[in-house]
Structure 1
Amino acid sequence: MCLGIPGELVGYVEEQADLGVVDVAGVRRRINIGLLVNEDLRLGDWVLVHVGFALSKISESEARAVLDYLEGLGQAYDDELDALRGSDIS
Protein backbone atom coordinates (compact mmCIF):
# COMPACT_ATOMS: atom_id res chain seq x y z
CA MET A 1 0.00 0.00 0.00
CA CYS A 2 1.30 3.46 -0.82
CA LEU A 3 0.08 6.23 1.42
CA GLY A 4 0.39 9.98 1.29
CA ILE A 5 2.23 10.87 4.49
CA PRO A 6 2.65 14.33 6.04
CA GLY A 7 6.22 15.52 6.36
CA GLU A 8 7.68 18.68 7.84
CA LEU A 9 10.01 20.63 5.58
CA VAL A 10 13.30 20.85 7.46
CA GLY A 11 15.76 21.79 4.72
CA TYR A 12 16.52 22.50 1.10
CA VAL A 13 19.03 20.92 -1.26
CA GLU A 14 21.08 23.90 -2.43
CA GLU A 15 22.43 22.27 -5.57
CA GLN A 16 18.92 21.24 -6.72
CA ALA A 17 16.21 23.86 -6.22
CA ASP A 18 13.39 21.37 -6.73
CA LEU A 19 14.49 19.15 -3.83
CA GLY A 20 13.78 19.60 -0.15
CA VAL A 21 14.33 17.57 3.00
CA VAL A 22 11.33 16.46 5.04
CA ASP A 23 11.02 14.77 8.39
CA VAL A 24 8.36 12.05 8.55
CA ALA A 25 8.08 10.51 12.02
CA GLY A 26 11.83 10.89 12.56
CA VAL A 27 12.80 9.69 9.07
CA ARG A 28 14.48 12.39 6.97
CA ARG A 29 14.44 12.13 3.21
CA ARG A 30 14.97 14.27 0.15
CA ILE A 31 11.78 14.79 -1.80
CA ASN A 32 10.83 16.67 -4.93
CA ILE A 33 9.07 19.93 -4.03
CA GLY A 34 8.87 21.21 -7.61
CA LEU A 35 5.10 20.70 -7.83
CA LEU A 36 4.67 23.29 -5.07
CA VAL A 37 6.84 26.01 -6.59
CA ASN A 38 3.99 28.56 -6.23
CA GLU A 39 3.20 27.67 -2.59
CA ASP A 40 5.93 29.80 -0.94
CA LEU A 41 7.23 26.83 1.06
CA ARG A 42 9.19 27.69 4.19
CA LEU A 43 11.06 25.61 6.72
CA GLY A 44 8.55 24.22 9.20
CA ASP A 45 5.75 23.95 6.64
CA TRP A 46 3.98 20.62 6.29
CA VAL A 47 3.50 18.85 2.96
CA LEU A 48 1.74 15.68 1.89
CA VAL A 49 4.39 13.30 0.48
CA HIS A 50 3.64 10.50 -1.96
CA VAL A 51 6.24 8.47 -3.89
CA GLY A 52 8.94 11.07 -3.30
CA PHE A 53 6.91 14.13 -4.29
CA ALA A 54 5.33 16.86 -2.19
CA LEU A 55 1.79 16.95 -3.56
CA SER A 56 0.26 19.69 -1.45
CA LYS A 57 0.99 22.05 1.41
CA ILE A 58 -1.13 21.27 4.48
CA SER A 59 -1.63 22.84 7.89
CA GLU A 60 0.12 21.49 10.95
CA SER A 61 -3.23 20.52 12.48
CA GLU A 62 -4.19 18.58 9.34
CA ALA A 63 -0.78 16.89 9.36
CA ARG A 64 -1.22 15.86 13.00
CA ALA A 65 -4.72 14.49 12.33
CA VAL A 66 -3.48 12.44 9.36
CA LEU A 67 -0.45 11.15 11.29
CA ASP A 68 -2.66 10.13 14.21
CA TYR A 69 -4.95 8.27 11.80
CA LEU A 70 -2.07 6.58 9.98
CA GLU A 71 -0.47 5.45 13.23
CA GLY A 72 -3.77 3.76 14.01
CA LEU A 73 -3.45 1.67 10.84
CA GLY A 74 -0.64 -0.28 12.45
CA GLN A 75 1.26 -2.48 10.02
CA ALA A 76 0.38 -0.52 6.87
CA TYR A 77 1.84 2.62 8.43
CA ASP A 78 4.93 0.76 9.66
CA ASP A 79 5.44 -0.68 6.17
CA GLU A 80 5.20 2.78 4.63
CA LEU A 81 7.78 4.17 7.06
CA ASP A 82 10.08 1.22 6.29
CA ALA A 83 9.75 1.97 2.57
CA LEU A 84 10.53 5.62 3.25
CA ARG A 85 13.62 4.68 5.24
CA GLY A 86 14.86 2.64 2.28
CA SER A 87 14.31 5.36 -0.31
CA ASP A 88 16.34 8.40 -1.21
CA ILE A 89 16.17 10.94 -4.00
CA SER A 90 19.71 12.07 -4.64
Structure 2
Amino acid sequence: MCLSVPSQITAIHDDTSVTVDTLGVKRRVSSHLMTEPLKVGEFVLIHIGFVMNKIDTEDAKLSLELYKEIVDKLNDEGSEL
Protein backbone atom coordinates (compact mmCIF):
# COMPACT_ATOMS: atom_id res chain seq x y z
CA MET A 1 0.00 0.00 0.00
CA CYS A 2 1.18 3.47 -0.83
CA LEU A 3 0.49 6.54 1.26
CA SER A 4 0.69 9.99 -0.32
CA VAL A 5 0.52 13.14 1.79
CA PRO A 6 -0.99 16.17 0.04
CA SER A 7 1.66 18.69 -0.98
CA GLN A 8 1.05 22.34 -1.80
CA ILE A 9 2.75 23.89 -4.84
CA THR A 10 4.92 26.85 -3.79
CA ALA A 11 6.75 27.51 -7.08
CA ILE A 12 6.57 26.52 -10.73
CA HIS A 13 9.77 26.23 -12.77
CA ASP A 14 10.43 26.41 -16.53
CA ASP A 15 11.84 22.87 -16.67
CA THR A 16 8.51 21.08 -15.95
CA SER A 17 9.21 20.85 -12.25
CA VAL A 18 7.52 22.42 -9.25
CA THR A 19 8.51 23.07 -5.67
CA VAL A 20 6.07 21.65 -3.14
CA ASP A 21 5.64 21.93 0.60
CA THR A 22 4.79 18.66 2.34
CA LEU A 23 4.13 19.24 6.05
CA GLY A 24 6.83 21.93 6.15
CA VAL A 25 9.36 20.09 4.00
CA LYS A 26 10.03 21.75 0.64
CA ARG A 27 11.32 19.81 -2.33
CA ARG A 28 11.43 20.03 -6.09
CA VAL A 29 9.52 17.35 -8.02
CA SER A 30 8.76 16.63 -11.66
CA SER A 31 5.43 17.73 -13.12
CA HIS A 32 5.99 16.47 -16.66
CA LEU A 33 3.41 13.65 -16.25
CA MET A 34 0.61 16.18 -15.66
CA THR A 35 -1.47 17.09 -18.71
CA GLU A 36 -3.39 19.92 -17.04
CA PRO A 37 -1.74 23.17 -15.91
CA LEU A 38 -0.68 23.56 -12.29
CA LYS A 39 -0.87 26.73 -10.20
CA VAL A 40 0.92 27.95 -7.09
CA GLY A 41 -1.25 27.19 -4.07
CA GLU A 42 -2.85 24.03 -5.49
CA PHE A 43 -2.49 20.71 -3.72
CA VAL A 44 -1.09 17.65 -5.48
CA LEU A 45 -0.19 14.06 -4.69
CA ILE A 46 3.40 12.95 -5.31
CA HIS A 47 4.69 9.46 -6.03
CA ILE A 48 8.43 8.76 -6.23
CA GLY A 49 9.21 12.37 -7.16
CA PHE A 50 6.45 12.89 -9.73
CA VAL A 51 3.21 14.85 -9.45
CA MET A 52 0.51 12.29 -10.14
CA ASN A 53 -2.66 14.34 -9.74
CA LYS A 54 -4.29 17.38 -8.19
CA ILE A 55 -6.36 17.10 -5.03
CA ASP A 56 -9.22 19.31 -3.92
CA THR A 57 -8.10 21.96 -1.41
CA GLU A 58 -10.68 21.02 1.22
CA ASP A 59 -9.85 17.31 0.91
CA ALA A 60 -6.15 18.12 1.18
CA LYS A 61 -6.63 20.21 4.32
CA LEU A 62 -8.76 17.49 5.93
CA SER A 63 -6.11 14.87 5.14
CA LEU A 64 -3.33 17.07 6.52
CA GLU A 65 -5.28 17.61 9.76
CA LEU A 66 -5.68 13.84 10.14
CA TYR A 67 -1.98 13.20 9.47
CA LYS A 68 -1.06 15.80 12.09
CA GLU A 69 -3.38 14.13 14.62
CA ILE A 70 -1.71 10.78 13.92
CA VAL A 71 1.77 12.25 14.35
CA ASP A 72 0.77 14.02 17.57
CA LYS A 73 -0.73 10.79 18.93
CA LEU A 74 2.41 8.82 18.07
CA ASN A 75 4.59 11.50 19.67
CA ASP A 76 2.47 11.40 22.84
CA GLU A 77 2.68 7.61 23.01
CA GLY A 78 6.43 7.73 22.40
CA SER A 79 6.96 10.10 25.32
CA GLU A 80 5.21 7.63 27.64
CA LEU A 81 7.68 4.83 26.88
Please say whether Structure 1 and Structure 2 have the same fold, judged by a TM-score greater than 0.5: yes
Unaligned residue ranges in structure 1 (runs of 5+)? 79-90
Alignment deviations for residues 4-61 of structure 1 (CA, whole Å, 9 cap, x no partner): 01111111233x22x110111221100111221x222111111012221211101110
TM-score relative to the length of structure 1: 0.68
The answer to whether residue 27 in structure 2 is matched with residue 29 in structure 1 is: yes
- Larger-gyration structure (1/2): 2
In structure 2, runs of 5+ residues without a counterpart are 76-81
Instruction: Give 1:59-78 correspondences, 5 Å limit.
Output: 59-74=56-71
Among 44, 47, 55, the residue aligned to 1:47: 44
The Cα of 1:2 is off from its aligned counterpart by 5.5
Q: Which residue of 1 aligns with 2:9?
A: 9
Q: Secondary structure at the match of 2:39?
A: coil
- How far apart, in 2, do the equivalents of 1:2 and 1:30 lie? 20
Q: Number of residues paired by the alignment? A: 74
Among the aligned pairs, what percent are the same residue? 31
| Higher relative contact order structure (alpha carbons within 8 Å, sequence separation ≥ 6) | 1
Checking the alignment, whether the CA contact within 8 Å between 1:10 and 1:23 is kept in structure 2 is yes
Q: SS at 1:74's partner residue?
A: helix
Q: RMSD value over aligned CA atoms?
A: 2.4
1:5–1:50 contact (8 Å) kept in structure 2: no
